[in-house]
Chain A
């Protein structure tokens, strides 16, 4: 099967046409096109229906979409029934979404950004931030390539391949360092930004932090962190007008 490199590049934009209609389905069809092109020579009658299937509703974590893409492309070449391929896609949505969200969005991203925040608060310049962003992107591309290759190699057996891979173990392991890194970075950033303004500013920051935590914990869903921040800013601006 040709087109792996092109599919890999296109996977970087798999959410380019994200919609409530098909979620990342169109992006999957876009990334599948180079892989399915040779189907025209092997089984021409199958190409249009395989193309249509590739762009149907699909949703998962974008970095792991290659697992489903590769598996379905291989299944098309192996002549698996269309209904079976649709079932495979549907079955992969939730696990790939959950694994990716936990590993990347709730794990690796907070770790990298918290490390960057802590490093900057401790006096390092933009170089550390640049190194961390580059390192993260190397990991991101390697994971995308691993996902596509694993999908292409395992076809309909992709579920077994995922279970036996590094991913489920990594998801379990990433949560502790993510929590620790975020916890570590927050006081350092506060000290960096607020401490130079004196004890009164530190006290105000602590009171704001405690009040915001209480609102976010018990205020209900309408009190998002952004709304709490805006409300706090408005309160301070009004208070400053009353008590200059």
Chain B
């Protein structure tokens, strides 16, 4: 496997921090969606198409997540950065599955770090409750900037972990390694189930649920038509 230049690694770390911040803190502008995070990471790593493929699988899983209020959820953004780096240069058949598996493995503990962040912010608020109650603008500004800095540090650590795992696997994998042939279809199938499950849950029932089914039917017809044509 080709080594990544140090500038690419630094760019990936920086991108991972932006992606991690985007999920909750700032600006919440879709940068943390796995498809977006992995596509740009793949481009930085020299294989945007591979990043897109890995990001697409993780995006299917992310479509099942509703980041509502204090709910707990996996963090797919920095995980997708690691998945894209691993996927870059691997053959599509096995590479997508291995990269998506790495993404899932990182997304779970990455979600736990969000809970740590929320508790750490709460402890900080506790310490400054008297100052806030007295109307101290300084205390509020300090809390806000400390929260942002904490999230940036958290994102950096998660991205670094994902990249370290991806680089370690890149060193071990190569053209000679035989990937489990069914890993990619099984993870894509599971991701599809996650996306459908999320859509069905959100739709609830009635006309909305019917439109999920109509969309599925249209997608299947289009896919079959394209397969016949090509």
Chain A 188-216 per-residue mask, 1 if CB under 8 angstroms from chain B, else 0: 11111111110011101111111111001
At the interface, yes or no: A163 with Cβ under 8 Å from chain B? no
Bound: A20/B147 CA distance, A: 13
Q: Within the assembled complex, what's the spacing in Å between the Cα atoms of A141 and B1?
A: 42
The answer to whether A129 and B39 have CB atoms under 8 Å apart is yes
Q: Which of B7-15, B159-167, B168-176, B203-211 contacts A (4 or more CB under 8 A)?
A: B203-211
Interface size class of A (residues with CB under 8 A): 35 or more
B-contact bits for A52-85, CB 8 A (1 contact / 0 none)? 1011000100110000000000000000000000
Selected from B29, B101, B194, the residue in CB contact (under 8 A) with A140 is B29
Q: Pick the contact of B141: A33, A188, A212 (CB < 8 A).
A: A33
Q: Which residues of A contact B33 (CB under 8 A)?
A: 109, 113
Contact B25 A52 (CB under 8 A): no
Contact of A19 (CB < 8 Å), options: B52, B121, B145? B121
Label chain B's interface by main secondary structure.
Answer: helix
Q: Which of A117, A236, A237 has the most CB of B within 10 A?
A: A236
Tell me the nearest residue of chain A to B27, going by C-beta: A12
> Which of B137, B183, B189, B191 has the most chain A CB atoms inside 10 A of its CB?
B189
**Chain A binding surface, main DSSP class:** helix
B81 / chain A contacts, CB cutoff of 8 Å: none
**Taking A55-B132, A230-B108 as contacts, is the C-beta distance between A194 and B25 under 8 angstroms?**
no
Is A101 interfacial (CB-CB < 8 Å)? yes
> Taking the complex as formed, is B83 at the interface, i.e. its CB lies under 8 A from any CB of chain A?
no
The smallest beta-carbon distance between B56 and chain A, in angstroms, is 6
The docked-state distance in angstroms from the alpha carbon of A200 to that of B26 is 44
The count of A-to-B residue pairs whose CB atoms sit within 8 angstroms is 337
Contact A226 B107 (CB under 8 A): yes
State the CA gap A225–B76 with chains docked (Å).
12
In the assembled complex, the CB of A128 is this many whole angstroms from the nearest CB of chain B, namely 11
Among A54, A201, A235, find the residue whose CB has the most chain B CB atoms closer than 10 A: A201
**B126 lies within 8 A of A140 (CB):** no
Considering the chains assembled together, what is the distance between the CA atoms of A47 and B134 in angstroms? Answer: 10
* Contact indicator A208/B30 (Cβ below 8 Å): no
CB closest chain-B residue, reference A193? B188
A62 CA to B227 CA, complexed, in Å: 43
B182 contacts partner chain A, Cβ-Cβ < 8 Å: yes
A181 near B: Cβ within 8 Å? yes
Task: Decide: A187 near B219, CB < 8 A? Known: A16-B144, A16-B151, A20-B119.
Answer: yes
Interface string of A4-24 (1 = CB under 8 A from B): 000000001101111111110
Name the 6 nearest CB pairs between A and B, nearest first: A183-B215, A48-B135, A17-B147, A208-B189, A225-B194, A212-B193
A193-B56, A193-B184, A216-B194 are known; give 4 further A-B pairs, CB within 8 A: A180-B211, A187-B220, A205-B185, A217-B197
Subset of 22 A-B contacts with CB under 8 Å: A13-B26, A17-B143, A20-B70, A23-B70, A29-B132, A110-B63, A126-B39, A176-B207, A182-B63, A183-B214, A184-B222, A187-B223, A189-B188, A197-B181, A197-B184, A205-B188, A208-B185, A209-B189, A212-B197, A225-B61, A229-B191, A236-B182
